Structure 1
Amino acid sequence: MNHDMPSPAGATEVFSTHSVFGAPCWVSLTSRDVKTTEDFYGAVLGWEWRPVRLGDRFRVALAEGRPVAGIAAVAGMWQTSVAWTPYFAVRSADEAAARVQERGGTSAVGPISLPPGRGALLADRDGATFGVWEGELFSDWPTWRRAQLAFIRLHTRDAFDAAIFYGGVFDWASDKPGCVEVHYEGEEVVLRSGGAVVARIESGAAESAPDPTVRPHWQVHFAVTDVAACAQAAERHGGSVLFLSADEAVLRDNEGAQFTVTSRRKG
């Protein structure tokens, strides 16, 4: 489980999760060694770093000066594996956590207060982990998405069942203004907010597969200009390439956390 909460220390513009509820609003990574993590992602994605008021174990990654992700050196402290975790904007973290538990999911951490917000780390009923965040964001949501995040994808047992679970938690496809739209395209569920694709859900992951890349999980996709260069940099800095095509590469970082880089040309 990822224990980095996205407290927006140093944000200059106030943008609340109330504006984009139900949509992914942040991603964060647990790490055993922040320095080596900084070096790896600096080389692969060109990120720079700044501290946050949560302490020395936490950093915020910047792409062209804009906050894009959080890093927390807590994997060893909490005896957890390293992993990327997406956070969803909610109007109430407590209500979202209660809805998760009502629908067969679990709560790992929180909800807890981290001014100026409140968050929780949760898992759906198939074990895929995710977070929720209520309060201010690091920067306005459209800017965060344009900075580097392409979208997130849930690999799960049954995409339609998962869409029902998350839809009930986050009020997807409800009559509330600004809610996330749900579209069914073949065997995949596509989620849009403000016209932009923000998440995808696909079937196929096995619930009890020994390989964590096969078990249900959320995969973070970062938009880059040169996929091949990112893959080469990952290998040079202690990571590995699991899949490589002209438009996309699935990578593992130097500590084993999996993520995807996607060409900015790809829709």
Structure 2
Amino acid sequence: MAEFPEGAPCWVDAMFTDVEAAKEFYGDVLGWTFGEASSEYGNYTQAYSDGKAVAAVVPPMPGGDAPSQWCLYFASADAAATAEKIKAAGGTLMMEPMQVGPFGTMAIAKEPSGAVFGVWQPGEHKGFEKVGEAGGYAWAEVFTREPDKADEFLAQVFPYGSQQMEAGDDPEMAGMDFKVFSVGGPENAVLGRMKMGDEFPPEIPSYVQVYFAVPNCDEAIEKTKARGGALHFGPMDSPFGRFAALTDPQGAAFAVIDLSTTVGEMPKFG
């Protein structure tokens, strides 16, 4: 499988106090199956869609009390060098680069406005084996109250170009501050950045919203609610697909998007 370019999202995982419950939930909502837990690596368990690796779940480390949340990893040819860029750009390393057997090298960091993300230097594990198809990773956005801080940081750490969305005549777009980051040209968008408004309670910190593709957004919402999860936004039609923001029963936020159901004209970016 082709390597992911520098700065492109390449993997996602989450810690869950109750891993078995998480497997049941995502197995139902996203159609995932799961491999054997790797006891050598903290019972890290990969998730698959149609036999292709799409994510992983893992129990907290002993003594850890971090909330359940999805962590998006960005590809790096040299995790140690990326870690230095993170520090130089005002970010914080929460986990220094650490080799994970023959699979690769990981680091966990926080950008200056508070969103947590990962860095992955691939070894044997290249990352997603399925992207942009039902059951797989589709997209991600950094939600932040301090977009200037986040924008400057991302541009310093990764080789991104960026384009700001123009509001145009759509009243729903009025006042929206949304930027897209790309690798190798604007046609290769890899990440969005959304300014958080007053609709977000002040106790919610900056975060990375991960979107998983589903064949039917409304069915995924109903399955989420039936299993004790919650709907926070949507469902909403867009030129990119019909999507909704959810949390699972253990509190991890995620979003689903039906990429085949598109409504409206694509916004302009300048």
Scaled by the length of structure 2, the TM-score of the pair is 0.81
* In 2, Cα distance between equivalents of 1:66 and 1:140: 10
**Identity value in percent:** 27
| 1:139-158 residue CA offsets vs partner (Å, 9 max, x unmatched) | 576x5323421110001123
User: Partner of 1:169 in structure 2?
Assistant: 157
Does the CA-based 8 Å contact 1:225-1:263 persist in structure 2? Answer: yes
Alpha-carbon RMSD: 2.3
Residue in 2 that maps onto 1:200: 192
- The 5 A counterparts of 1:239-254 are 239-246=229-236, 247-254=242-249
**Aligned ranges for residues 182-221 of structure 1 at < 5 Å?**
182-186=162-166, 187-193=177-183, 195-204=187-196, 210-212=202-204, 215-221=205-211
The verdict on how the C-alpha distance between 1:106 and 1:262 changes in structure 2, with shifts beyond 3 A counting, is: same
Runs of 4+ residues over 6 Å off in structure 1: none
Is 1:237 the equivalent of 2:237?
no
Give how far 1:135 is off: 1.8
1:173-222 deviation line (CA, Å, top 9, x unaligned) = 3xxxxxxxx2222332112346343210011268x96432xx21100011
Corresponding residue pairs, total: 240
Q: Which moved more, 1:97-106 or 1:189-198?
A: 189-198
Identify which of 100, 119, 130 aligns with 1:132.
Answer: 119
Query: Which of 87, 92, 99 lines up with 1:101 in the alignment?
Result: 87
Report if the CA contact (8 A) 1:30-1:82 is conserved.
yes
Aligned to 2:254: 259
Q: Which residue does 1:25 correspond to in 2?
A: 10
Shift of 1:160: 4.0
Q: Is the 8 A contact 1:31 1:75 kept in 2?
A: no
**Structure 1 gap segments, 5+ residues each:** 1-12, 174-181
Q: Residues 42 and 61 of structure 2 are in contact (CA less than 8 Å); yes or no, is this contact kept in structure 1?
A: no
Q: 2:36 aligns with which of 45, 51, 54?
A: 51
- Secondary structure of the equivalent of 2:21? helix
SS at match of 1:171: coil
Quote the offset at 1:163 in angstroms. 2.0
> CA offset at residue 225 of structure 1?
1.3
The aligned counterpart of 2:24 is: 39
C-alpha distance in 1 between matches for 2:197 and 2:95 = 25
Aligned to 2:105: 118
**Amino acid corresponding to residue 169 of structure 1 in structure 2:** V
Is 1:80 the counterpart of 2:80? The answer is: no
User: Could you state the TM-score of these two structures normalised by the residue count of structure 1?
Assistant: 0.82
In structure 2, the gaps of 5 or more residues are: 167-176, 237-241
Residues 137 and 166 of structure 1: is their aligned pair in 2 closer, same or farther, counting only changes over 3 Å? Answer: farther
The change in CA–CA distance for 1:231 and 1:75 in structure 2 (over 3 A counts) is: farther
Q: 1:41 to 1:21 in 2, by over 3 A?
A: same
Distance 1:75 1:250, change over 3 A: farther
Q: Deviations over 1:17-67 (max 9, x none)?
A: xx5111111111110011000000011111000125444621111111111
Q: RCO greater where, 1 or 2, for CA within 8 Å and sep 6 or more? A: 1
Deviations 1:90-125 (A, max 9, x none): 111111111111222111112111133111000011
Mapped pair 1:156 → 2:140: no
